[in-house]
Amino acid sequence: MAEKIKFTAEEQAFIDLALSTIEMDPKKRLSAVAKDVLDRKNYVFDAHSHIFDGQCVDADYMIIRLLKFDDNPILKRLLEFLIKRIIKEEKNFNENMNSADFVENVYLQKILKQHSFNKKDVDSFSSKITKEKDLGILMNVDWNNVVERIKDVIRILNSNKMEEVYNYFVKHAIQNNVPGKELISIQLGMDLESGWKGSIQKTYQEQTNELLALSQKQPILPFLPVHPERATKKLGDMNELYATFLRCFKKGSPNFYGIKCYPSLGYLPTARVLAPIFAVCEQANIPVITHCGGSMISTFADPVKTDFFGFEVNISEGDRKKNADALNEPHNWEAVLENFKQLRLSFGHFGGDEAWEKSKNTPAPRVSTILSYMHKYPNVYADFSFNFNDRKITKSFGNYFKSTDPNYAPFKTRSLFGTDFWVVVPQSDLEKDQKYFLKVTQGHHDNLLDKNVIAFLGLKD
Ligand SMILES: [Zn+2]
């Protein structure tokens, strides 16, 4: 069924140039500090996290979406109410307020202005929560914790340095739950400048340089975000996408380790311009992680203009969420995998929490598609990041490890642990949720936190 790509002379020239100038040995793409941790063989991996700061994202938009203000009107109103209270309380302590609190304060004011709170809202809020079901939802929420998390996210968004966010990550990361182990992590960049409405203060190149520099100081494996839109811009005598790729993987200089795709930012993985990059990734053992979960972060374009190996495709499914879901579908990768069968590909979020809510007894379509690729292709993996904030679906995930059904065998050898820090912070008590994840996957930690990640990264001896 799959369309076989025939590269043009120009595309082939890029592939040849890449293969003769980039680092082909995965081990040599590791920074000295990452290599040290791996050599000591006493680590745990977080295979999916982010340390972008407030200047890498559109902070206003991010916090509103992260707090799920749009999804649940009851929670939205209550969160607004809480934020208002936080401000009010802090105002009373104005004199003792340090500068960080002050920034938070100003920040929260800004959010509230965008979601102004009037009498009508309060009335409809109180009439709505009289429903027993809603009261149940509200009573089960640990509100102190929610307030702390709101503050955490605001602190992160107020930072303008990835290193500060990284230090915060280390305080909450998985090694705290596995005594005696060192932390090593995959840090995924995001190109929100492409395909996203909003003001991003740090440019793509600035973010790329900062992440690369940090990877020389800390045990992290940085993944370069790619977006087809970059190929429409020039950098030197080449398009920005290819020029950046060549620079970031160049032999003899600090290297990115892998590639990050985020289809819901406005493209299919079959976008023609990505195919030469995947051809190089396959041959040079450069691993690719793709977002395959929720639709929170997505392009505003409608229709989404993309292509299937050069044949124009317009995606217009009815609304923004449906477009995002269509772009994130794992089956969009089948044609890529058919062309590049050895490609190292990990599906971030294993299909996503919505798919996992429907996977209690048998895998929902997204999960079973990923599972079928694990059977069919030698280097397909998936991480369970973000989803672990929900106990029910974490339990379902753990149950597949207990199954003796050969169809579910890849769970043991192809699953990776990841958090999706800090995107998950508003919804997760990281310490408790990571503990629970470890509990339901008891007996498989060696694989999830080490061996499977090493295999995905092409670092197996
Ligand atoms: Zn992520």
CATH fold of 9-55+160-456, please? TIM Barrel (3.20.20)
C-alpha span between 431 and 177 (Å, rounded): 7
What's the 455 CA to ligand 1 centre distance in angstroms? 20
What's the 188 CA to ligand 1 centre distance in angstroms? 7
Handedness of CA 182, 262, 433, 364 (dihedral sign): negative
From-to residues of CATH 3.20.20.140 in the chain? 9-55+160-456
What's the 350 CA to ligand 1 centre distance in angstroms? 11
Q: What is the pLDDT of residues 65-112, one digit of tens each?
A: 565 544 555 666 666 565 555 545 544 434 444 334 444 454 455 544
What's the 206 CA to ligand 1 centre distance in angstroms? 20
C-alpha span between 140 and 337 (Å, rounded): 43
What's the 281 CA to ligand 1 centre distance in angstroms? 20
Q: Give yes or no for residue 140 having a pLDDT over 80.
A: no
Lowest mean pLDDT among 133-147, 156-170, 343-357: 133-147
C-alpha span between 229 and 267 (Å, rounded): 9
Q: Give yes or no for residue 440 having a pLDDT over 70.
A: yes
What's the 417 CA to ligand 1 centre distance in angstroms? 12
- pTM of structure: 0.86
Counting runs of H as helices and runs of E as strands, what totals does the chain give? Answer: 21, 12
What's the 13 CA to ligand 1 centre distance in angstroms? 33
Q: What pLDDT, on a 0 to 100 scale, did the predictor assign at position 66? A: 60
Q: What pLDDT, on a 0 to 100 scale, did the predictor assign at position 427? A: 76
What's the 345 CA to ligand 1 centre distance in angstroms? 15
What's the 165 CA to ligand 1 centre distance in angstroms? 15
Lowest mean pLDDT among 78-87, 210-219, 233-242, 298-307: 78-87
Q: Give yes or no for residue 293 having a pLDDT over 80.
A: yes
Q: Give yes or no for residue 136 having a pLDDT over 90.
A: no
What's the 422 CA to ligand 1 centre distance in angstroms? 8
Helix axes 143-158, 99-114, angle to 10 degrees: 100
Quick check: 348 and 418 in contact, CB under 8 A? Answer: yes
What's the 119 CA to ligand 1 centre distance in angstroms? 38
C-alpha span between 161 and 184 (Å, rounded): 20
What's the 304 CA to ligand 1 centre distance in angstroms? 22
What's the 274 CA to ligand 1 centre distance in angstroms? 20
Q: What is the pLDDT of residues 314-325, one digit of tens each?
A: 999 999 899 999
What's the 123 CA to ligand 1 centre distance in angstroms? 37
Indicate the pairing of strand 304-308 with strand 311-315.
antiparallel
Q: What pLDDT, on a 0 to 100 scale, did the predictor assign at position 43? A: 98
What's the 284 CA to ligand 1 centre distance in angstroms? 24
Average pLDDT of every residue of the chain: 86
What's the 169 CA to ligand 1 centre distance in angstroms? 14
What's the 386 CA to ligand 1 centre distance in angstroms? 8
What's the 404 CA to ligand 1 centre distance in angstroms? 31
Q: Give yes or no for residue 165 having a pLDDT over 60.
A: yes
What's the 108 CA to ligand 1 centre distance in angstroms? 25
What's the 335 CA to ligand 1 centre distance in angstroms? 23
**Other residues' Cβ atoms within 10 Å of the Cβ of residue 327:** 24
Q: What pLDDT, on a 0 to 100 scale, did the predictor assign at position 97? A: 40
C-alpha distances in Å from residue 40, one per residue of 35, 37, 44 = 9, 5, 11
Indicate the pairing of strand 345-348 with strand 380-383.
parallel
Closest CA to 396 of 387, 383, 405: 387
